[in-house]
Each structure stands twice: as structure tokens, then as C-alpha cells.
Amino acid sequence: MHRWIFLGLIMIQIGNVMADSGAPPLKQVISKLNAHFQATKDFKANFIQIETNALVKKIKKSEGVIYARQDGKIFWFTQKPEPYKVLSDGKLIWLYYPKENEVYQRTWDSIDFQTRMALLFLTRRSQLEASFDYEWENQKHHQIRLIPKKKWAVEKVVMTLRASLSEIEKIKFYYPLERETELQLRDLQTNQDWLAKHSKHALDPNIDAAFQFCCASKVQEK
């Protein structure tokens, strides 16, 4: 299921590609993005996520940090407003709620779609054009639209680049019934080999040496 590695990171590279080559054709941009991806083994970034449901006039904002690798290992730690941890060793996923001290072990297919969609965009393992048709949403404002080639619950994804074209400003997922999720990646660090550092000093007390979840009193499998 997790065929995606670092799409958020790759989109950040759009700015560098476009700035270096004087805004080349979009197809050329996508091709170069895939090349950038191949050279990126891991990354760490701070994130802001905003979920909007226009029908019920509800907005939810969260902040935290993401660690991700090409082999599918991910640690997504939501720090605000309520702590929440998502961990994957590349096969299984653990969802941990520190306040309740409860953890749910699941497979990729069993987690809710919006969580799965965000994680898949951070663990891309195929070429971008293999799964999406793409075009400019608004070239003047540096926005690129992705339309899934297969029917998904997401209708489209739009990436907006900063005016400097040096980094991504946001990735926005559009769902049916006027639901949207915006993910911003900031303070990006790449190829830092954070997994090797984890083996010496754990990233988090809930991650063991095998990069699996540990140390919660209530574990439920779904």
C-alpha cells in the first residue's frame, strides 16, 4: 500500500528546479523532481496540518514533526494541540494516544483514509506520473494540480510553491463533500541518516531498536 516516498519533500524541490532552469515545461519539472527524489534517502521536517470541513464549518489545526525514510519507516509526532504519534516500520502502523496511553496496531489498509493519504504522500515509491495526471493549477502563483489516475477518495491534490520558488508552501488534498486537508512542511533536513542516530539515542521513548512501537499499557490490534 505504501508506494509513496517523500512527495512532500519532492514538491519542495520544484522550487529549486524551476529557479535553476528559468521555469521549464511542467513535464521537465516533474522529471527532475523524480531525479531529486532518488538522491534523497531520508528527511526530517516540522509540519502544520489544517483540516477543513466546510459543511459543518469545522477547522482543525495540528503541529509537530515528521521523520521518514525511503524504506517506509515513518515517525509522525503531532505535538499540538494534543499529542498523537504515528509510527511505521515499513509494514505495520502504530497509532498512539499518550493521554489515554492506548496504542492501536494496524495495517496500511485499515487506517482512516485521511491519515493514510498523508502518510502515502510521505512514502512514495513510484514515479509521480505513474499515479497522477498533472497540470498547472495556476502557473503565475506556482500551483500544480495532481489528479489521481485511479479512483480514490481524494479528488485532487494541489501544491503551492513559495514566491521564491525555493520551497513548497503547502500541499492541499481535496475530498468530496467540501473537505480539505492542508499539509505544510518546514525546516526540512535531508540525508541526515537519522535512523543510525536512533540506534544510539532513541528518537522517542516509544520506539524500540527495531523501529517498532513499545511501552504502552493498552494495545489493540485492528
Taking only the tens place, the pLDDT of each residue in 35-78 is 667 777 888 889 999 999 988 888 999 999 999 888 888 999 99
The CATH number of the structural domain formed by 4-217 is: 2.50.20.10
Higher pLDDT, 167 or 50: 50
Separation between Cα atoms, residue 12 and residue 162, nearest integer Å: 9
- pLDDT for 166 beyond 50: no
- For the chain, give the number of residues: 222
Under 8 Å between Cβ of 176 and 166: no
Please give the pLDDT value at position 76.
92
Listed in order, strand segments (DSSP E) in the chain are 4-5, 42-53, 58-69, 73-80, 84-89, 92-97, 102-107, 123-124, 132-138, 143-148, 156-161, 168-175, 179-190, 218-221
Please give the pLDDT value at position 57.
84
**Residue 90: pLDDT band by 50, 70, 90 thresholds?**
confident
- pLDDT for 15 beyond 60: no
Higher pLDDT, 28 or 192: 192
Please give the pLDDT value at position 110.
65
What's the predicted TM-score (pTM) here? 0.76
Separation between Cα atoms, residue 175 and residue 151, nearest integer Å: 12
**Residue 79: pLDDT band by 50, 70, 90 thresholds?**
very high
Adjacent-strand bridge partners of 59: 52
Separation between Cα atoms, residue 52 and residue 180, nearest integer Å: 5
69-92 average pLDDT score: 90
Query: What average pLDDT does the chain have?
Result: 77
| Apex 166 CA angle, 76 and 41, nearest 5 | 45
Cell reading at 57: 464549518
Please give the pLDDT value at position 126.
55
142-171 average pLDDT score: 76
Report the share of the chain in percent with pLDDT over 90: 17
170-191 average pLDDT score: 88
Please report, for the chain, the start and end positions of each structural domain, with discontinuous segments joined by +: 4-217
pLDDT tens digits along 97-142: 888 888 888 877 666 666 666 666 665 555 667 778 888 898 788 7
Higher pLDDT, 170 or 17: 170
